[in-house]
Amino acid sequence: MTAAAAATTTTRRRSTTTISSFLLSLACAVLVVAPSPARAAGIYDPCVAQSAVQIGDTFSIGIAFYPGGAISDWYDSAGKIYHPCDATASAVLQTKLVQTQSFRPKVDHLTFLRGDATEETAVFNTASGTPIIMTMVAYTANGIISDPRIVRVTNSGAIVGGSDLGRVSSLTLVARFDGGNVAHLQWHDIGCSSCKDGDSCINVDAKGDHYACAGSETACSCTGSGCALNLAGTDVLRCQLTTSLGFSGTDKHSVPMKSGAQIERLGQYSIEEAADGAGASAYGR
């Protein structure tokens, strides 16, 4: 990351939860792995260009949160998206209090990217005035960036045409590689079939093409006794974002990546169910 870009965001390293297979159930295959030890300065920085990778290598990816920003706010007047690694764009994002997380997953391992529920709420509350929406993008170096997605809505007026309210708990992303280099970051819509009772189904692209489960603001902000959710347990996963990451394309040896094809199976499970088999170890640290 350039000095200008580095100044725009607060980057936190987070652990990744890797799903190695889908043999019997998603939960039994959940493992927690710490980020790989840094071998060189900037290894966790998504804005540092990376060499072509092979399956099993690690690579850096960032997630940027825009508190108070609608999907349209990610674009300049010419329709170009603000990329956190671009010095000019990052100067704009700095004024908008955009913050990032960085991850170091293994290539072609279906992986959960997750931060911390308390920190996510703290970022949301940094928006000017009373925050009513928060959006996000995923990105890597060389100008690669996903389309923006809505991750929290507290007022239906925040979206043209209105919206259900809540905190998006699960999005699914496919990193497409060409010869070991990231070529695209594309969202995959697995719908709301795994939503729990009391959750919302939010239109996360504001166009009606992509929907995701979301915990209700009432349940997710409840404290004390009598709450609908046990936020000290895996229920907290219904109130914070988990991005499921799969891979497609080819590595530097032209070997096909296969984990992206498993993405469809995620629609059979909720993120909470996926974590049940791993207990507390399923949380990012």
Residue ranges per structural domain of the chain: 3-277
pLDDT at 276: 43
- Asked if 185 and 138 count as a contact pair (C-beta separation under 8 A), the reply is yes
Closest CA to 155 of 173, 129, 180, 177: 129
Mean pLDDT of 168-182: 95
- When mean pLDDT is compared across 158-172, 208-222, 223-237, the lowest value belongs to 158-172
**Number of residues assigned to the chain:** 285
CA–CA gap between residue 210 and residue 205 (Å, rounded) = 6
pTM above 0.85, yes or no: no
The model's confidence at residue 267, banded by pLDDT at 50, 70 and 90, is low
Here the tokens at position 239 are 């109130």
Instruction: Provide the pairing of β-strand 170-178 with 242-249.
Output: parallel
Contacts of 196 (CB under 8 A, 6+ apart): 213, 238, 270, 272
Q: Residue 176 above 60 pLDDT?
A: yes
Work out whether the CA dihedral 215, 218, 219, 220 comes out positive or negative. Answer: positive
Residue 3 has pLDDT above 50, yes or no: no
What's the helix, strand, coil split of the chain in %, to 5?
A: 20, 30, 50
Q: Is 276 in a helix, a strand, or coil?
A: helix
